[in-house]
Amino acid sequence: MHLKRLKLAEQAFLNRYPGGFQHPEMLAIGKKHNVTKLSDFCQQAFGKRNFSNTNQIIEDWLKVISRSSMISLFEKPKFKSFINTRNSDEKKALVQSAKMMLHGKAESGFDLQLDLLKMDKLAKWSIISALPAYYRLQDEVFIKPTTAKGVVSYFELQDLTYKPTPSWDFYLNYRVQLTQMKEQVDKCLSPSNPAFSGFLMMSLPKKKQR
C-alpha cells in the first residue's frame, strides 16, 4: 500500500471530522445508511439454524438487498426479478451458497453463487458481497466497483487488478489488504468495514470517484 497517501488521508479526514465516525456529521450519515440495523437483522435472519427454511431465507435476502443503501437502485429490481424467476432447485442452491459463505466453505459458496448469478447476467460485486458484509461488519468487505477500483489504484494495493466480474481471489486479497490498512490508522476511522470503506472513498481524488 501507499502508506504516505493513507496517512495523509487520515490526517485530512480527522482535521475535517474530529473523532472520525463519532463526529456529528458522520453519525448523521451513518443513521441514513442503517448499517447497524441491517447487520442486526442479518444476525437474526441468517443464523446457521435458519437455513433449513429456504423460502424464509430467500425472503429475508430480498429484504436486505432492497433496504441496503449500498446497492444501486438499478440492481435491486434486477435481483428481485432474478429470485422470482428461479425454480425450486435453483433457490435451494442459492440458499446453500449463502449458507456456505456465512457458515462453511466460503470460497465454494462464493463460486456457487457466482455461477448462479451469471444465469441472469447479475454477477455483480455489490450483490455477492452485500450479505457477508452486513453479517460480519468487522471482518467481511462490501465491494462497490467504483470505490474498489479507486482504492486499488490510488493506494497502490499490491497484486490486485480490479475486474468487473467477481472472483474469490480478488475478494480475499482485497479483504486482507483493507485489514492491513485499518491497522495503520486511528480506530475511530473503522468502527466497521463499511465505515472504513466510506473513509477510503471520501479520501479518493474526485476523478477516482466517478
36-63, pLDDT tens digit by residue?
Answer: 899 999 999 999 999 999 999 999 999 9
162-207, pLDDT tens digit by residue?
Answer: 999 999 999 999 999 999 999 999 999 998 899 999 999 999 987 5
pTM over 0.95, yes/no: no
124-147, pLDDT tens digit by residue?
Answer: 999 999 999 999 999 999 999 989
Phi, psi of 144 (to 5 degrees): -95, 120
Cβ contact 133:193 at 8 Å: yes
pLDDT at 60: 96
Nearest residue to 39 via CA among 69, 10, 12: 69
Q: Cell 462464493, residue?
A: 110
72-92, pLDDT tens digit by residue?
Answer: 888 999 999 999 999 999 999
Confidence of residue 30 (pLDDT cuts 50, 70, 90): confident
pLDDT at 27: 86
pLDDT at 70: 86
**C-alpha grid cell, residue 166:** 467477481
Cβ contact 182:6 at 8 Å: no
Please state, in angstroms and rounded to a whole number, the distance separating the CA atoms of residues 194 and 133.
8
pLDDT at 208: 41
